[in-house]
Amino acid sequence: MANVSDRVRRAWVPIAVITFGLLYPTLLPYLDDIPLIGTLLPGVGTVVIMFVFTMMAVGLNVVVGYAGLLDLGYVAFYAAGAYTAAWLASVQFEQVTFHFGSSGISDKLPGIHMSIFLVLVIAGSFTALVGIIIGLPTLRLRGDYLAIVTLGFGEIVPQFVRNADSIKGFDLTHGSFGISPIDSPGFGAGLGAALGLPESYQQSTNRAELYFYTALALLLFTVFVSVRLRDSRLGRAWVAIREDETAAAAMGVPLMRTKTWAYAIGAFFGGVAGAYYASFKSGAFPSDFYFNLSIFILCMVILGGMGSVWGAIVGGLFLSYLDQEGLAKIGTEVGIQDVPKYNFGIYGLIIVIVMLFRPTGLIPERRHKRELEEGVRDTPFYDVQLEGSDTDRDSQND
């Protein structure tokens, strides 16, 4: 029974964090004046990228953390999302001219141009479909086998993207040049003017803030869905599978369906993040989708604590900050120029140190913590009652 004060106590941290997030662009000029810390703070544009990566970390957390399916090819979903945005909101398919809610561009511009907000939904759904297609044949495999298959997909997708500039003469992905420019989000002249919302982000004076708030909204949505799913029937089924697949199946959890859902939902957020990032950068390039990125996002989840949403957020924000600005800035402060060059060695070191000394991550999830601390290998099914402990039958008799 959670009473009101209990709820308030549990809610104040998220509320404080969200408030700080909302005020960040406004506060930044003042925060910059703080000595030492001020110079290290990320700019608003960087925070957008951080939010996108954090979104992916929270999405991957559903797959790796909740369901315990190690996915080493998450970048494939990111790529699928980015290219969906590129197909549906650029001049790539110049054979057709189709506009639906496009903003900030001429109606005569060839190619498919749809409202980015719609594209985000489509990209997420399409990527979830890709996740299901990848998942159906492979999710029967367990543990490390699955990890390797996902790695295979993670390697094939970028190569496909790079080579698919001439499939029977049809240019699907524009090869290694990537697709650029991609339309920017916006609410269009009619709706935007009526509601006082910006017509097109790209043409607004405060575009960095607009991208920032949209990214924040997407991230909050991801976190909300992720938290609600964790406590749902499906979420409990995921955890059951993670803890013991055989036992879960014996208790009537449909393995394939449950795992596929985890995959599809993880993929959905990867796709939305990819699509939004593509729109933010106004381009989708195959060089963005390399294997290291999958590991980078996995590193965020591991650092934060597998299965813990807060962990994924902290890990995601921290590592993507390091990647975007932090390493370079710290390097300059310390006086070493080459720090960003060795970023992946640093992430590797983080992974190893976390796995060896704190396998539960910075902010451990309760159940997962126990699993890692007590170990799961060779747990015997003791029929003998341990001293001082109740068996199920005893507690029922009480």
Partner 1 sequence: MVPRTVTGWLGLGFIGVIVFWLGANLVNDPSEFFNVALIGLTNGAVYALVALGYTLVYGILQLINFAHGDVFALSGLVASTVIVGWVGLGADSSTGEVVLGVGLALVIAVVFAATLNTGIEFVAYRRLRNAPRLAPLITAVGVSFILQDVGLVGWGVEFRTTEKLIPGRDAFTIGGVHFPWDKLGVLWLTIPALTALTWLVRSTKQGKAMRATSQDMDAAAMMGINVNRTISFTFALAGGLAGAGGLLYFLHFTSMRYDTGFQLGLIAFTAAVLGGIGNLPGAVLGALMIGLIEQFNEGLELYSPGSDWTRSMIFGILIATLVFRPEGLLGERTPEGG
Residues of the shown chain interacting with partner 1 in the complex, contacts defined by CB under 8 A: 68, 70, 72, 137-138, 140-145, 147-149, 151-153, 155-156, 159-160, 162-163, 291-292, 295, 298-299, 302, 341-342, 344-352, 355-356, 359, 371-372, 375-378
Nearer to partner 1, 53 or 280 (CB): 53
Q: How far is the CB of 373 from partner 1 (least distance, A)?
A: 10
What's the CA gap between 316 and 57, in Å, rounded?
6
CB closer to partner 1 out of 56 and 350: 350
Smallest separation, CB 327 to partner 1 (Å): 13
Least distance (Å) between residue 320 CB and partner 1: 17
Encoded tokens for 129? 């479909």
Spatial separation of the C-alpha atoms in residues 257 and 128, rounded to whole Å: 14
Q: Are 92 and 179 in contact (CB under 8 A)?
A: yes
- Measured CA to CA, the distance from residue 305 to residue 313 in angstroms comes to 10
Nearer to partner 1, 45 or 359 (CB): 359
Residue 376 CA to residue 371 CA, distance in Å, equals 7
3-class DSSP assignment, residue 377: coil
The residue among 35 and 137 lying less far from partner 1, judged by its C-beta, is 137
The residue among 109 and 148 lying less far from partner 1, judged by its C-beta, is 148
In the complex with partner 1, the residue whose CB is nearer, 36 or 356, is 356
For 169-184, letters b (16+ CB in 10 Å) and e give eeebbbeeebbbebbb
How near is the Cβ of 299 to partner 1 at its closest, in Å?
8
Q: How far is the CB of 220 from partner 1 (least distance, A)?
A: 28
Euclidean distance between CA atoms 28 and 20, whole angstroms: 11
Q: In this structure, are residues 91 and 77 in contact, taking their beta carbons and an 8 Å threshold?
A: no
Q: The tokens 């902010």 sit on which residue?
A: 363
If the CB atoms of residues 8 and 256 are measured against partner 1, the closer one turns out to be 256
Residues in CB range of 6: below 8 A, 6 or more apart: none
Q: How many CA atoms lie within 13 A of 24 on its CB side?
A: 23
The minimum distance between CB 145 and partner 1, in angstroms, equals 6
284, β-bridge pairs: 179
The whole-angstrom separation of Cα 225 and Cα 30 is 33
- Closer residue to partner 1, CB minimum distance, 289 or 347: 347
Shortest spacing between CB 379 and partner 1, in angstroms: 11
Q: How far is the CB of 138 from partner 1 (least distance, A)?
A: 6
d(CA 126, CA 81): 8
